[in-house]
Amino acid sequence: MPFWRSIDARVSRSEQRIQNADGSSFEVTVMRPEGREEPAPAVLYYHGGAFAFGCTSMHLESCERYALEANCCVIVVDFRLGPANPFPCGFDDCYRTLDWVRENAAELGIDVARIAVMGDSSGGAIAAGVSQKALDNGVTLCAQVLIYPVLDSDCRSPSANQFSDTPIWNAGSNRGMWKMYLRDVDAANPPAYASPGHRDDLTGLAAAYVETAEFDPLRDEAMDYADRLEEHGVEVHRNPTKGTIHVYEISSDNPETIRSMTERVTYLRKRFGP
């Protein structure tokens, strides 16, 4: 992520390299608002990009805003990408980051009781999967923030089939993404955590923020996941944006973008508490 430079001097930034048990490694960027007292709450951010493309300046600028306005640390994970490293490589990097943050919480100045995971699009799939694995491993998260998330590898929903010609993301690109990410795995029977919408029991998962775009193949699977979370007793905050397409906040001055950025920050602040 060396192409990016902070747009606000009130946020400090450092890069850290994390080692995996198999000898591979990856980088994370740690953002922290200047003057924030320790220990601070933290967001682990998993960027979108169809599991194939790296972090963009849009992601990083948004994360800088989350750090400032939610008054928290943000750890942006530069995980391995699907074309060369299909599932579970990138997912494992993202879960390893959670372990790394918990192991190094004192040095990082992070409160382990106030860690949230957050992701957009394919990063939303990773955030939801990390939430599920954290639950299975007895790790408590304070929130999962899912922004127009990818959740269903066999693309069963009406919107996943209806929106065949929408800009930026459509039914065909959605199916192609899953084929690349899962390779020869049966999309209807994916491995655990790869396609979070396939999990039956959602009881005990972290409270969730679920944002959807109106004209997006991913809309219905996200709405269904929110319904199922609630049915299993999970607190859900919904943000169904109107007149929007996938990655609609690429237009930063769009009224829905402005409203949703505020809503995301407000939700984080609520989950982090005083």
Find out whether the peptide bond into 39 is cis, omega within 30 degrees of 0: yes
Which residues are CB-contacts of 114 (< 8 A; sequence separation ≥ 6)?
40, 41, 42, 72, 142, 271, 272, 273
Q: Where are the alpha helices (DSSP H) in the chain?
A: 57-69, 89-103, 105-108, 122-136, 158-162, 171-182, 219-231, 255-272
Cα–Cα dist 4/101, whole Å:
23
Active site residue 246: yes
Catalytic residue among 121, 131, 157, 159: 121
Closest CA to 247 of 182, 195, 173, 187: 173
Active site residue 232: no
Q: In what order do the strands lie in the sheet with 208-212?
A: 11-19, 25-33, 73-78, 40-46, 110-120, 143-147, 208-212, 236-240
Three-state DSSP at 269 gives helix
Closest CA to 91 of 121, 46, 53, 56: 46
Catalytic residue among 78, 120, 216, 220: 216
Active site residue 216: yes
Cα–Cα dist 182/173, whole Å:
14
> How far is it between the farthest Cα atoms of the chain?
49
250: DSSP letter: G
Determine the distance from the C-alpha atom of residue 150 to the mean position of all C-alpha atoms in its chain, rounded to a whole number.
10
So which residues are the catalytic ones?
121, 216, 246
